[in-house]
């Protein structure tokens, strides 16, 4: 597609439930990133995909968080047993990763997750 | 560890003023620096991307400069308008062999209000 698409745009869930957030990157972008933005906080790196593999998962806050990417395209971020502190905007971005990192990022509009 | 700082945290100016937003980073080993705009409740929109070998980039009323050796970038907005009101984020893309996932390190942002 023309841009990075994220769904749902808003999600309200009860504490303890599992949620799945979806990201559809720009076609041909091999690099995909998930970031989290909590209220009043900066953007926090979660995970990076190159193709379908995730060489850097260092930002995932706990083992309740996992992510996968299939077909070098769509990615899903799963949060199990959600907690109130998981409430945040989850942003996905994609980038070309050809001959280095000289290309910019394109972000999606984000998924606003509220855990009640 | 790369740290990105933006000053000021908030800025309020009357319409028509020219203004400068500042960004500093601690490690000069970057691939590029990107300025983003974020409107309340929205995702990030890329404004300007400066490669590490470049000194500035311009787009319309926006001009971004980069001084890699001193670890500084500025975003200059000419003839500000109420529609420029938003949060402006600076982010550096890590370079080097060790951290070559291409992830971005963000500043905390400058929230700009342009009063009519």
Nearest to B43 among A100, A104, A107 (CB): A107
Q: Is B84 helix (H, G, I), strand (E, B) or coil?
A: helix
Lowest pLDDT segment from A45-54, A81-90, B28-37, B91-100: B91-100
C-beta separation of A47 from A54 below 8 A: yes
Residue A101 has a pLDDT of: 57
| Chain B (1-60) residues lying within 8 Å, Cβ to Cβ, of chain A | 31-32, 34, 36, 41-46, 49, 51
Interface test with B, best of A107, A108, A112 (most B CBs within 10 A): A107
Q: Is B69 helix (H, G, I), strand (E, B) or coil?
A: coil
> Cβ A101–B100 below 8 Å, yes or no?
yes
Distance from CA of B109 to the nearest CA of A (A): 7
Note the pLDDT tens digit of each residue in A9-36. 999 999 999 999 999 999 989 899 999 9
B107 vs A contacts (CB less than 8 Å): 42
**pLDDT, average across residues A78-83:** 98
- Reading chain B (116 residues) residue by residue, the pLDDT tens digits are 889 999 999 999 999 999 999 999 998 888 889 999 999 888 899 999 998 899 999 999 999 999 999 999 999 999 999 999 999 999 998 766 545 677 889 999 999 999 99
C-beta separation of A106 from A55 below 8 A: no
Maximum distance among all Cα pairs of chain B, rounded to whole angstroms: 48
| CA–centroid distance for B112 within its chain | 12
**pLDDT, average across residues A77-96:** 95
């Amino acid at each position: 597609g023309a841009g990075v698409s994220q769904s749902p745009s808003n999600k309200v869930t009860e504490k303890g439930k599992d949620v799945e957030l979806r990201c559809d990157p720009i076609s041909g972008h091999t690099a995909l990133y998930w970031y989290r933005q909590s209220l009043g906080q900066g953007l926090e790196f979660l995970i990076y995909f190159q193709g379908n593999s995730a060489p850097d998962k260092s930002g995932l806050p706990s083992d309740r968080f996992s992510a996968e990417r299939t077909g070098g395209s769509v990615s899903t971020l799963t949060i199990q047993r959600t907690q109130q502190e998981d409430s945040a905007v989850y942003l996905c971005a994609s980038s070309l990763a050809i001959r280095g990192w000289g290309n910019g990022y394109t972000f999606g509009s984000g998924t606003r997750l509220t855990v009640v | 560890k790369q740290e990105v700082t933006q000053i000021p945290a908030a800025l309020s100016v009357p319409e028509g003023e020219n203004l400068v937003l500042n960004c500093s980073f601690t490690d000069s080993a970057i691939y590029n620096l990107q300025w983003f705009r974020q409107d309340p409740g929205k995702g990030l929109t890329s404004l300007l991307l400066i490669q590490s070998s470049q000194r500035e980039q311009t787009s319309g009323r926006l001009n971004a400069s980069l001084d890699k050796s001193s670890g500084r970038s500025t975003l200059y907005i000419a003839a500000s308008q109420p529609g420029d009101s938003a949060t402006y984020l600076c982010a550096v893309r890590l370079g080097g062999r060790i951290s070559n996932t291409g992830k971005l390190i963000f500043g905390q942002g400058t929230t700009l209000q342009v009063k009519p």
